Copies of this chain bind each other. A is one copy, B any other.
Amino acid sequence: MGSGGGEDPEAAVEPLQVLFFRKGSTIYFEGEDARCWYEVLRGTVRTCRFRADGYRQLTNFFYRGDVFGVDEGRYLETAEAVTDVRVRRRSLTAGEELPLRRALASAQRCIFLLGHKTAEQRLAAFLIGGLDPADSSQTVVLPMSRADIADHLGLTIHTVSRTFSDMARRGLIRIGRPHMISIMDLDALRAISGEEAFDSKDLNGHVTFVTGRFA
């Protein structure tokens, strides 16, 4: 049931409204009054819903700089710390334009990701999305488990694992430890994900139009 409350004493170290949560702890629960929104200062946060059939549906991951918890009335999701995290908490009062925009951008990124059809496409897009633009090392650190990734993308851990292995076999990525993935061929990954980059590889000339609205 996790390690309990998140109002860690360490929060007192930082001035006002900077809080620390241990890995696995809950930042807020679905259904609680949404009085504050959060910005990730360090670590990774996930939001999820526990559905009636027992499945956990993971809606998004949030990294440094991302905003979450901008809900109306009550939180629609539960937020949990994937790693130890530090967050800044702000009350939800006025002039919320900027955070709302940023939250919205996250939601849209998520939707684009989920709109990908095959497991390979989703995972390629997921890896690309995990690249830190400030860091040119081409290494993606995946702080979350395979189960987290699977739930986020609507796959099983088996498919995630198999697909990563297959990508590694083809030289697209290299898996150091499970959570350290080096991208060896970014263009190929981009092509697989369906976002730009067609130069190398061919994709089997797979330019099929799903609908006939191009006339």
Interface residues of A (CB under 8 A from B): 1-2, 49, 51-60, 70, 72, 76, 96-97, 100-101, 103-105, 107-108, 110-112, 114-117, 147, 150-151, 154, 156, 191, 194-198, 203, 206-215
Contacts and interface: CB of A to CB of B under 8 A. Distances in A.
A145 to B, nearest CB: 8
Q: What copy number does this chain have within its complex?
A: 2
Secondary structure at the A interface, as helix, strand, loop or mixed, is loop
Given A111-B107, A154-B114, A72 B51 contact: no
Contacts of A104: 70, 100, 103-104, 107
16 contacts: A1-B215, A53-B207, A55-B194, A55-B209, A57-B115, A60-B111, A70-B104, A96-B100, A97-B97, A100-B100, A104-B107, A107-B111, A117-B154, A147-B211, A151-B210, A156-B210
